[in-house]
A and B are shown apart, each in its own frame.
Chain A
Amino acid sequence: MVRPEEDVRRLIVAAWPRLFRFACGLCGNRADGEDLAQSAVERALLAASRYRTGESMEAWLIHITRNLWRDGMRRRQVRGVVVSDEMVDVERPQAAQAEEHVMAMDALRAFAYLAPAQREVAAMILVEGLSYQEAASALGIPIGTVMSRLARARSALIERPNGHDPEIAPEGSRT
């Protein structure tokens, strides 16, 4: 007999790649995104008995991940995330670093410069592919607020395609 926890494990494994990207979007860099996604999975496994069969695993994981992220930010009392070349995981093989620099740093870096409220909406809708309604439910805010935050996030991402903005430095980059 398959125990309920096994079903949860399987669903989490299936959702893992999307969860990973979503967490990267929230953090604005891959290394922190990986840590966040892993913490979210640990949290989800501890709470596995509370997962109700039929409920969307993705929505459940997004909820957990987003709360962990918000909680971590509150604790650190920072508004953004440091994104610097130095922060790229130094233990990873050179090839992987180079590959990511070329292919994945730009949009990721740009996300780090969004205000948290915009970033979570952008990560949910633009990265994770949630509908406006799903994002509104996940965040407990009106759909109109989702739309305005998304519009501001898009605008910022278009204006600062690489995250570079001399006017706005992400928190933590100060010397």
Chain B
Amino acid sequence: MMIDDETLGAFIDGALDCGEHERVEDCVAREPALAARVAALRALGERIDADFAAIVIRPPPGSLAAPVATRRSMLNSWAPMALAAGFAGLTLGVFGAQWMRDGLLLFPADGEMRAGGMLSAALDGTPSGQTSGQVDLLYSVRAADGSVCRAFRVSSRAAAQEGAACRSGAGWRVVVLAASTSQGSGYVAAGADDTNSVEAAIDALDAGAPLSRIEEQRLIDGRWPPLVE
């Protein structure tokens, strides 16, 4: 029996009523040509899902950033993402938008914040105590899970921000980003109750003392190899 593409599409979308669904299912089971077409339609759906999920989502425009008084409630709407990524603190809005333009951060679909070009390059190759572009590298630590994390400060046109990023795969996952405590700022970070949320985040990683200059240089030279168990 010939079944058209519209019906097969509705079949895989679950949009047919019960009797019709069973009838199509029956035909598909018996006719290899139909089964092949259904497989092709399903494969297309999977490919679209995968390809669109891989699109790097950048943060919403700065106009979505709420005024200071409501920033906390605004941040609450990001909380699921922040929790999923294990952020100890995260501030977006004005800073985030600015950072995007400066190529400092990427914001992939899974809610993980990753260091973008300029920041990533600074984290990759600049020893602590030195500056690369807008980024000052503060120190590096080894977290309890073996990953290496680096604390940094960024002075952008808008304001200074401090953060920490941990080596993850081929890049850097930003685990905390907060208004620099050394500057007065009208904006508060999600972890504003902490006196210094970058320090708090580093503590939460159960990290030891900062790495020595020699240890750090070895990691830089080796392009941040994963810890061998």
**Interface, chain A (partner B; CB < 8 A):** 2, 6, 9-10, 12-14, 16-17, 20-21, 24-25, 30, 33-34, 38, 41-42, 45, 91-96, 99-100, 103-108, 125-127, 131-132, 147-148, 150-151, 154-155, 157-158, 161
Additional A-B contact list (20), CB under 8 Å, known A107-B50, A127-B52: A12-B64, A38-B61, A41-B60, A41-B61, A93-B103, A93-B106, A95-B116, A96-B116, A99-B56, A100-B55, A100-B56, A105-B51, A108-B52, A108-B55, A126-B48, A127-B48, A147-B10, A151-B6, A151-B9, A157-B44
B15 in the interface, Cβ–Cβ < 8 Å? yes
| Contact (Cβ within 8 A) A107 B117 | no
Question: Per a CB cutoff under 8 Å, which of A41, A127, A158 touches B41?
Answer: A158
* Cβ contacts B1-19/A at 8 Å (1 or 0 each): 0001110011001010000
B94 within 8 A of A: no
With A13-B77, A13-B78: A21-B61 Cβ-Cβ less than 8 Å: no
Least CB distance, A167 to chain B, in whole angstroms: 20
Majority secondary structure, B binding face: helix
Query: Separation in Å of the A44 CB from the closest CB of chain B?
Result: 10
Number of A-B contacts (CB under 8 A): 124
Name B14's closest neighbour in chain A (CB-CB).
A131
Which of B9, B73, B74 is packed against the most chain A CB atoms within 10 Å? B9
Number of interface residues of B (CB under 8 A): 42
Residues on B with C-beta less than 8 A from A127 are: 48, 52
A2-B55 contact given A13-B78, A93-B120, CB 8 Å threshold:
no
Minimal beta-carbon separation of B121 from chain A (angstroms): 9
B9 touches A13 (CB 8 A): no
Contacts of B54 in A (CB 8 A): 99-100, 103-104
Smallest CB–CB gap between A96 and chain B, Å? Answer: 6
B44, B63, B103, most chain A CB atoms within 10 A? B44
A45/B63 in contact, CB under 8 A: yes
Contacts of A12 in B (CB 8 A): 60, 64
Interface string of B169-210 (1 = CB under 8 A from A): 001000000000000000000000000000000000000000
Complex interface residues of chain B between 49 and 84 (CB less than 8 A to chain A): 50-61, 63-64, 66, 70, 73-74, 76-78
Across the interface, A106 reaches (CB within 8 A) one of B51, B60, B73, namely B51
Q: Does B133 contact A (CB under 8 A)?
A: no
